[in-house]
A and B are shown apart, each in its own frame.
Chain A
Amino acid sequence: MNSEGMKTGKSEVITIGKNGRSLSASLKWILAGIVLVIVISFFISIAIINNNERKSYAMASSENVLRTLSNRISSEMNNYKELTRIIMIDDRLLTFLRSEAYKVDTGMINDARYGVLDILYVTEGVDSVMIFRNDMIMMATNRFFYNYDYKFMNDDSWKKEILDRRGGATFSMNSFGIASRSDNKPVLTIGREINDLLSQKRTGIMIMNISQDVFISMLNELDLDDSVCIMGTDGTYLAGERKLMAFYDEKIPEKDSIITYESGSQGKIVRGCRVDLLPIIIVSATDYGPEGIPYGIVNTLIILMAVLVASAAFYGAYIRSRITKPVFELSKKIDQNEQSGSLVKIEDDMVYSELNMVKDSYNNMIEHVNELITTVIEKEKTVQRMEMRVLQEQIKPHFLYNSLETIGYLAMEAKADEVHDALETLGSFYRNFLSKGSREITLEREINIVKDYIALQKLRYGDIIDDVYDIDDAAAVYIVPKLILQPLVENSIYHGIRVKGERGTIGIKGRVEHGRLHLIVRDTGVGMSEETISSILNKRADYTDARIDGNKSGSFGLWDTIERIRIYSGHDDVVKITSEMGEFTQIEFIIWKTIE
């Protein structure tokens, strides 16, 4: 895995994580998406605006048509209403109406007809006028084009509507139902009561039928034939586009109001209204306006879109140059670190504080890792160095040489037994000392080393040392780092007992309490000053001239051993030193492993 990384590392500088697309890659898609959305919404909004614009245009224009037409019809119908008044006072008609029934003859009727026709002469729209005397003697201008329903005519019901108006005009379709044109053409009918001016009594009823041509020509004039339909409220077709009749659903629109039957479908708006006071409905279909695009709005939209697209592009470039690129560089740097194997801090300044935070965190981590590595290396170095020094110092060749010299002297003195004992002791010492190269041995074995050591020292310096041991069973099998006792004993001999000039005792105690080994070396030497004790306890790794200084202060081998036990145990609190000047020195090690 690692070696593979090293191989591919050079060619492929940046590997994007498999779990996620890279920011820069998805950025392209995101930007493309944004542009697409912008363009689509641009066209949609253009279409909506355009549609609305055309629709409101159509609405306005259809309203316009309806109002105009409705007014036109109203005023025209008023004209016809006026006409009925004029007809009402025609002399010949009056004669016809006033005469006794038996006096009425065809001549009189014709006179009345001509009187009416004279008046009608000024207008084209009147299809026919019918006048009924109270006795239902009838006069009509155009009677032969009509079919009459005589039965209904003699019924009073159709008159009721007219009579209710008490002289006012009322409108209806197709002659109130009493007559219809033989060609079935529809007519709008005005009906009114005729009252005698003198007697103020009703003398008859007038019905005026207005031709559909009036409406047709009206539409023609306004060029609305195809888009407007005029019809009666009862559904009778009057003029214009027949198809539009279908939209009128018998619901009579309110006065003055416009009903929208249909809007939008097939680009048309169909609306209708009722002509004021008349039984007439106008239905108008208006096409949507032409492509009534409001260019002001569109231009604004285009500018807006351009701005959006440009800013999207800008943000893309911005993110690329300010975020993804620095991130790549950062990751490149980290990769380089990984490949070079040395953990170097990244010094380059990142553009943003966020990236700087990432960089700082990385740097902090690097620092921490480097510290850890240094600590571990230093610790291992210290252990090795100290073990080396233990080997060199404690079992210095010096010691061997000195022992050999001593034995040599014994030989010269021809003390054969003692020579043998000494050689045996020396052999035993080195066997235990070497311990097949193991770094940790049982306390028992360590004690044996010390016993041999002391025996050999006694040979060198004369019988000035007594040694006493008190090791409990659990302690004897306790595992300890090799050669932790011997330096203490050496310290006791050289810096405790020998310098006192008196015979001295070295007592060694070992006991296990709560799984912890308490190892005590006590000598009756010169003691140790507070100052020396604290300098030993507080001394930290500093090897410059430690040997020379150490030899002078007598604390070197001791300190070394303390440090080894600290490292072995994994904590600092491993030693207690008590002393009284001129009386004793006691060093107690408390050994237990807190780490493996």
Chain B
Amino acid sequence: MPGKYRVMLIDDEESVRKLMRKSISWESLGMEVAGEAGSGIEAINTIDDIRPDIAFVDISMPFMNGIEFTEVATERYPGLVIIIMTAFDDFEYARKCVSLPVFEYMLKPMVRAEVVKVLERVRAKLDASAPASEDDEDDADIPAEDDLNEKIRKYLDENYTDSKINLTEVAQHFGFSPSYLSRKFKQSTGRNFVEYLTMLRMNRAMELAKENEKMFIAASSVGIPDPNYFGRCFKKFTGKSYSDYAAMHKPGK
């Protein structure tokens, strides 16, 4: 099939992500970098949009480290090829996750030749299993749609503060494929699932900003404990930075 394999880079250092993106000739491997995330939290929230086939995961990241992320990801995305990037002195961590179905552990700093070698093996593996994972889904017997949407909304209302929630998680919870759920959700609500979840969180965040809550506390209390990612989400949603927003709505003004 024509599609390139999609790669997601998850590392808390922007320069590392950029370096990877630049230094590897993805094209020639039949791959593309489909997205990046600066933390495990951000990755959980964006992975359903990016839909990667391969993920490079740095082990030591704040808020949700590589292992926690891998635990969540292998459960939700069984086909995802995970490559752990670890610094030598993080080996204790690495030992902890040998039981996880990780494709490869690679030591930092990365050496391009090694990365390329691993990616070639990944490619071979994906090529071999590719056909099976295409057609699937749709159909299934669906309960009354209104009823379903109600249930999903209710579930989200109750669980949006859980930092690990995302489309796939909800889909699995209700027993659908993520793409089906996404489609149905958009059809009936007119909103993208992720947008809806973000809206729930941002509404709550705006309330907290008005109460002059600290940003990092607001971030973790709406389920995005990475304040950097939260900050970006907030600005995207409201058009203002959190601190500006909070200042505007100060009780005195």
Contact = CB atoms under 8 A, between A and B. Distances in A.
A contact face: mostly helix, strand, loop, or mixed: helix
Given A398-B88, A405-B109, A526-B216, A461 B13 contact: yes
Interface of A: 392-393, 396-398, 401-402, 404-406, 408-410, 412-413, 459-462, 494, 498-502, 526, 545, 547-548, 551, 582
Contact of A412 (B22, B215, B216): B22
B238 to A, nearest CB: 16
11 contacts: A405-B13, A408-B109, A410-B15, A460-B15, A461-B14, A501-B215, A501-B216, A501-B227, A502-B243, A526-B214, A548-B92
A462 B243 CA distance: 19
B243 A409 contact: no
Given A401-B109, A547-B92, A408 B19 contact: yes
Given A412-B23, A500-B227, A398 B90 contact: yes
A406 B16 CA distance: 7
Given A398-B87, A461-B13, A409 B216 contact: no
A147 B55 CA distance: 175
- Main SS at interface, chain B: helix
A406 B13 contact: yes
Contacts of A413: 18, 22
Contact of B109 (A393, A404, A548): A404
A459 B216 contact: no
B14 to A, nearest CB: 7
A499 B16 CA distance: 19
B109 to A, nearest CB: 4
Nearest to A393: B89
Interface residues of B, number: 32
Given A404-B109, A459-B15, A494 B88 contact: no
B63 to A, nearest CB: 7
B108 interface: yes
B231 interface: yes
A461 B228 CA distance: 11
Given A412-B22, A461-B13, A501-B216, A396 B87 contact: yes
Given A397-B89, A402-B16, A406-B15, 10 more contacts: A396-B87, A396-B89, A402-B87, A405-B110, A406-B16, A499-B227, A500-B227, A501-B227, A502-B243, A582-B216
A543 to B, nearest CB: 12
Given A498-B62, A501-B226, A582-B216, A409 B18 contact: yes
Contacts of B217: 582
A243 B86 CA distance: 136
B15 A409 contact: yes
Contacts of A404: 109
Interface string B197-234: 00000000000000000111101000000111011000
A398 B89 contact: yes
Given A402-B108, A402-B109, A409-B22, A502 B87 contact: no
B149 interface: no
Contact of B62 (A398, A409, A494): A494
B151 to A, nearest CB: 34
Contact of B231 (A459, A460, A501, A551): A501
Contacts of A410: 15
B60 interface: yes
B227 A405 contact: no
Nearest to B227: A501
Nearest to A545: B92
B105 interface: no
A406 B226 CA distance: 22
A409 B88 contact: no
User: Which of A393, A410, A501: most chain B CB closer than 10 A?
Assistant: A501
Contacts of B92: 545, 547-548
A405, A462, A494, A548, most chain B CB atoms within 10 A: A405
Contacts of A499: 62-63, 216, 227
B77 interface: no
Contacts of A401: 87-88, 108-109
Given A405-B108, A462-B14, A501 B22 contact: no
Nearest to A403: B109
Which one of B15, B96, B214 has the greatest number of beta carbons of chain A within 10 Å?
B15
Contacts of B14: 461-462
B26 interface: no
B16 A409 contact: yes
